[in-house]
Each structure stands twice: as C-alpha cells, then as structure tokens.
Amino acid sequence: MRYSIAGVYHLYFGDASRHPIVNNYLRSLPDLPQEIVLTDFPRNRIRRLGRLIVDVIKLRKHADWALQCHDVFSAVIGAVLWPGRVIYDSHEIYSSFAGRRLTASIIAWLERLAIRWSTIVVFPSAYRSEFYELAKCDVRIIENLYYPYDNDERVATDDDAPAVPESQSPLFVYTGLFTPARAIDDIVAAFRDVRLSDSHLVLAGKHTRYLDSVLSDAPKNVEYIGELGHAEVSRLLRSADAGFALYRPINENNRRCAPTKIFEFLYFGVQVIASHSPYVMEIKEKCSADMLITLDAIDPESIVDACLEISTSKEPVAAAVRQSVCWSSQMPAVRSLYT
C-alpha cells in the first residue's frame, strides 16, 4: 500500500495505550509506521498538557508524518503546532461534559477551532458529525466497529461448544465501565422484578464505588465477576443471550453515542438491548433487525419488557453480519486518512 505520509503519531491527553480506537489503528495497519507520542504521561493535568506541547514541538522536524489527535486538547495543540497533516479523531463531544456554562462555551470554541484547523476530521457516525458546523471541512466517517482479538473467531464459531438448551434461563451480560450514565442501577433494579426471577445477570468490569452502591441491595440473580481479559470476555459472550448497551441521554455526547459494545455483542451473536437513536436504528437496519431491541425510555420497567423479548434460541451469526460489524470492513476508509 502506498501512503502519502511517512508514518503516524497518535496524540492523546490520556493513556493512549489503553484507548481501544488507538489500538485498532495500531493493529490494523502493520505496514505503516505508527507511534504513541505520550507514553509516560504525568498524573497532573497541567504538567501533562505541558508535556503534550513540548513533545509535539520536538517532533516537528518529522513533518512528513501525520499527527492523529484523539481528543480536543490534543487536536488544538496539533492544529496550532504541527506543520504537516493533522487528523482530528473526534471520539467525544467534550463540551457536553462540562458542568458550567462558561466552561462548556470555552470547550465548544476549542472544538470548533480544532475542526476548522485540522486537515481531516473523523467522526464515528454521520449522526455525531451533524452536531457541528462542518462547511469546507474534510470529514470522514470511521465507525467504532469491533476488532476481534486472537481466538475470537474460533470462540464465536465453535460448533463443538456445548449447545444452550432452549429451556435454559436467559443469561444477560454487561461488560465495560460502571457509571450512572450507563444506567447500571436501572439494569440491576429490573432484575428484582418477579418476571425475571429465572434470568441471570452477569456484570464484568473494573470495580467502582458506584458499583458498590448498586450492588448493595442487588437480587440473588445478579452476579459481579470482576474485570475480565479479552479471552474471558469472549467466552462469556459465547454463552450469553443478551447484552446491555444503554446510555442515559444526559448530554449531547450520550444522545449521539457510538458504542463499540453493540458491534462486539453482534459479532458473538448476542442480542442487544440499546438506547434508541438515529445511529442505533441505522445499525439495526444494516446488521440484523431481530438482534437489536431499542429503548426510548431507560427505566426498570422498560428494561424488564425488553428482557422478556429476548430469545434463548441462539442461532449462528451469518458471516455477512459478522463481517459488517468488524473494523476490517472499513479499512478502505481507514487507509484513506493516510493516502
């Protein structure tokens, strides 16, 4: 593959080595030199910001490399300081997280600046991009699709795995971060309903204080199993009937979210209970309509109703569906960022 740049520097205000989308780029383009700029980032945010600026200045002599920025602060630094191609990979609507109106206004201004001054702007969906004024911008859509790990394909298609009897109690899963925005409290509360007494909910992810408060009065059919590795998550999803990908519409970022979990669940043939949005409906139409149940309202009663729609007869995932939810299906668009 012929690229018009010599390599890619990935710039991120946090720990880029743990950023799933950054890792997708690193794994999917082995023929293109790529480096993470800030690897030993300071805990102090002011010092970290200073390090980003200093490190970008030091790398300016490599203007034939692209600088791909994965947050608004990195994008502003890149747009101002980088002499070559700047790619703003807009993963979040950062201004919507601000608690104060003045702070939100300042961050929104920075977002507009980053978008206007970057060479290319990337969004995870067209619906997310519609939030911004993008006249005269070079906009690309790179979805947060699932990137299978080693052994995932075998686990997901293993015909020799124990069959799940149709009479078995439905297994529901949630894997990921435990935050109020993801409605974990309402999900757990739903399983107190007598109609779900024969169902089982498994929660997997990094322990938080919020999770403690949710589990303090959780029913017996709810189980927390800790943080899992990729192989363990794959095995869990192989036996699951349904997974949750709910986001409370508490801000514009959540209303226009593009959760990777939906694609991961679909890859393993797990039915998904997700928040309703135009983008989620687009996924439903494109992938498999009967695999996605969307909720207009997020509350225990609505979640119970959705759980009762889940089928425990797990069918093999069509190869076309599995391919459509994988990162590899959009590689022409990914490579176009660098050609």
Q: State the residue range of the domain holding 117.
A: 8-142
Whether 50 and 86 share a structural domain:
yes
| Alpha helices, H only, 268-318 | 278-286, 300-308
Whether 319 and 172 share a structural domain:
yes
Would residue 334 count as lying in a domain? no
Last residue of a domain, one of 142, 166, 196: 142
Query: For the stretch 191-222, what's the b/e string if a residue is b when 16 or more beta carbons lie within 10 angstroms of its beta carbon?
Result: bbbeebeebbbbbbbeeeeebeebbeebeebb
φ, ψ for residue 22, nearest 5 deg: -55, -45
Give pLDDT, residue 167: 40
Last residue of a domain, one of 78, 110, 142: 142
Which residues of the chain fall below pLDDT 70?
151-168, 313-315
Whether 95 and 230 share a structural domain:
no
Tokens 């993801």 correspond to what residue? 182
Whether 161 and 275 share a structural domain:
yes
Give pLDDT, residue 286: 84
Whether 209 and 308 share a structural domain:
yes
Taking the C-alpha atoms of residue 250 and residue 211, their distance in angstroms, rounded to an integer, is: 19
Strand-pair partners of 244: 273
Q: Are 235 and 256 in contact (CB under 8 A)?
A: no
Whether 136 and 156 share a structural domain:
no
Whether 242 and 304 share a structural domain:
yes
Whether 176 and 49 share a structural domain:
no
- CATH number where 51 lies: 3.40.50.2000
Would residue 329 count as lying in a domain? no
Whether 125 and 200 share a structural domain:
no
Structurally, the chain folds into a number of domains equal to 2
Give pLDDT, residue 34: 97
**Does the pTM exceed 0.85?**
yes
Give pLDDT, residue 39: 87
Whether 102 and 218 share a structural domain:
no
Whether 199 and 282 share a structural domain:
yes
Taking the C-alpha atoms of residue 21 and residue 151, their distance in angstroms, rounded to an integer, is: 20
Would residue 95 count as lying in a domain? yes
Whether 59 and 166 share a structural domain:
no
Give pLDDT, residue 166: 44
Would residue 335 count as lying in a domain? no
Would residue 336 count as lying in a domain? no
Would residue 24 count as lying in a domain? yes
Would residue 35 count as lying in a domain? yes
Last residue of a domain, one of 142, 176, 209: 142
Give pLDDT, residue 153: 59
Taking the C-alpha atoms of residue 151 and residue 295, their distance in angstroms, rounded to an integer, is: 33
